[in-house]
Structure 1
Amino acid sequence: MFISYFDESGDDGYPKYSSELFVLSSLYMHETHWKENLQTIQSFRKVLKAEYGFLVKEEFHSKEFVTDKNPYHGRYEPTIRKKILLDHCYLLSTLKLKCVSVVIDKKNINRPKYEILKNALTYSIQRIENDLNKSYAGERFMIISDEGRVAKMRETTRKIQRINYIPSKFSFSSYRQEIQNLIEDPLPKNSQESYFIQFADLLAFIVSLYAKRHLCFEKIDWGKRILNVLDYGDEIKLMDILRPCLNLKASTKNPYGIVHYPQSQK
């Protein structure tokens, strides 16, 4: 069995929203690799504590850390924040797992009722299912996510196990393919208690930086707080570091396998 962890960057509101992009990232691993991955992260966190005073059990929330917001405000210089972010990326790239990210670009939505989270979650689950069917026949997977969106996720996962339409690559039609490998409803877990959810948050944050510069029809600038730590172009370096753990087959349209919907009509 595989265990998957989900987290997001941006809000899932539409048509009213505070962020133009919504990114849902997941990482998934076979149960036999779970303990080894956890022990690797625990060892890494002990090094962070020894070198930077970052407590082993302290939650790493990527955006707040990089932008120097509470609870990290004033504790680390920009160069140290960048170094710690890079260290997290290098560590994630070595773990025995795979990652999928879905970007929903709200500026490309052309219908009044578009369910952001539902679509992002559906696309993500489809990619995990496809990977298991091709490489791990007979395996099942379960979802663990931060507590805030579990109710919405439960509604979606129950539906796509009953009926699920997938757009065809070769026409404007779609075909029906229900999700077969997902077991149980999404299970809640506080992100503060899960290193894996925190790494899903890290991936979603980095993918959002990349998407703003490379997936949107018109580039979106990063905030000043981010630019105090990162330069334009660093998003490519970060994605290249993460490349070994990315499911590159999740989307053949993107070099990092990022799933991007809706496509621009411009």
Structure 2
Amino acid sequence: MYLVYVDESGDTGVTNSPTRYFILSALIIHENNWNRFIDDLVDFRRNLRDRYKFKMREEIHAAEFFQSSKKYDHIDKHIKLQICKKTLDFQKSLDYIQVMFIVIDKATFTGDVFETAWKYLIQRIHNTLDNNNFRVINNSSKDENNDNFILIPDKTDDKKLTQLVRKLRRYNPIPSRFGNGYLNLPLTLIVEDPYTKDSMNSYIHQLVDVNAYFMKQSLDPTAYMKRKKAHNFIKRLENIRCTHISKEKNGILMVK
């Protein structure tokens, strides 16, 4: 079983929206490596505590780190940036996880932003698994084709996402490669409804939050991020990106 942790960046509005991009950031891990991941993650948080006095119970929330939130006023801005950098480097050091990104450019996109982004993510996860392309992060000896996956998103539009997942299990029309028309290829490898969690209570979702934030900064950086060259931080994850989801082989599916 593959566990797919997901976080969103930006909003889904297309009219008078403050954000140009809607981003889904996903982290994928196999159940066989989950306990190891948690042990490594707890050790990482202890290192943050010891080095930066960032408490174990505090949430790493990148957007709030760099906005006018008083929640993190006790932490210097450059320390918050270092915490995010270390968070990316921690993930980079792990050979048993992969990440991917779905990016909707709302400047040119006119469809349903939420449904399109989530549909593409679910399809890419399903196809990657169906083609045995997650095998590099699965230390099991069994055939990967026997595996399934479950979505574990941060809080979102739970009802709409659940409806989409249930629909794709039954109806997933794909343009035919052999002419006009569509083929119905139901997504049979996703199990259960999405299991949403609050990132406040999930160290893993806090990693995915940082990834989503710095993907956004790579596309539309703030003046501070550009000055600190932090708009390039997302490149630190290049070695763990799932390169099978787009023709560009960069772990990013850009939808315009």
TM-score exceeds 0.5: yes
Residues 66 and 77 in structure 2, CA contact (< 8 A), matched pair in contact too:
no
Check whether the contact 1:66–1:226 (CA below 8 A) recurs between aligned residues: no
Equivalent residue, structure 1, for 2:151 = 143
1:161-202 CA-to-partner distances (Å, cap 9, x unmatched) read 111123578999754322110000001211111111111111
Identity across matched positions, percent: 27
TM-score normalised by the chain length of structure 2: 0.87
Structure 2 letter corresponding to 1:147: K
2-side partners of 1:17 and 1:138: how far apart?
Answer: 42
Code of the aligned partner of 1:8: E
After the TM superposition, which segments of 4 or more aligned residues of structure 1 sit over 6 Å from their partners? 168-173
Aligned counterparts of 2:240 and 2:70: Cα–Cα separation in 1: 30
The answer to whether residue 242 in structure 2 is matched with residue 244 in structure 1 is: no
Residue aligning to 1:157: 165
Q: Give, in whole Å, the separation in 2 of the partners of 1:55 and 1:190.
A: 18
The match for 2:251 among 254, 257, 264 is 257
Q: What is residue 105 of structure 2 aligned with on the other side?
A: 105
Displacement of 1:32 after TM fit? Answer: 0.8
The number of equivalent residue pairs is: 244
Alignment match of 1:211 (pick from 190, 209, 219): 219
| Cα deviations by residue, 1:137-177 (Å, 9 ceiling, x for unpaired) | 12101111223322221111111111112357899975432
Distance 1:142 1:170, change over 3 A: same
**1:1-266 equivalence runs, <5 A:** 1-67=1-67, 69-78=69-78, 80-95=79-94, 96-109=96-109, 111=110, 114-135=111-132, 136-166=144-174, 175-212=183-220, 222-227=221-226, 230-231=228-229, 234-236=230-232, 238-253=233-248, 255-262=249-256
Deviation at 1:68, TM superposition (A): 6.0
Give, in angstroms, the shift of residue 82 of structure 1.
Answer: 2.6
Q: Aligned partners of 2:122, 2:16: CA distance in 1, in Å?
A: 26
What CA deviation, in whole Å up to 9, does each residue of 1:89-145 have, x standing for no partner? 111112321112100001112x4xx21111111111111111111222121011112
Give CA-to-partner distance per residue, 1:31-70, whole Å, 9 cap, x none: 0111111111110100111111101121101122244633
Give the SS at the match of 2:8: strand
- Secondary structure (helix, strand or coil) at the match of 1:18 reads coil
Which moved further from structure 2: 88-97 or 14-23?
14-23
Contact 1:68–1:225 (8 Å) recurs in 2: no
Q: Are the structure 2 counterparts of residues 123 and 26 from structure 1 closer, same or farther at C-alpha, using a change threshold of 3 Å?
A: same
Following the alignment from structure 1 to structure 2, what is the Cα–Cα distance between the partners of residues 250 and 118? Answer: 18
**What is the deviation of 1:227?**
4.3
TM normalised by structure 1 equals 0.84
Structure 2 vs 1, CA of residues 170 and 198 (structure 1 numbering), >3 Å: closer, same or farther? farther
Matched residue, 1:218: none
SS of alignment partner, residue 170 of structure 2: coil
Gaps of 5+ in 1: 213-221
Q: 1:171 to 1:24 in 2, by over 3 A?
A: farther
Quote the Cα distance in structure 2 between the aligned partners of 1:188 and 1:152. Answer: 12
CA distance in 2, matches of 1:171, 1:199: 43
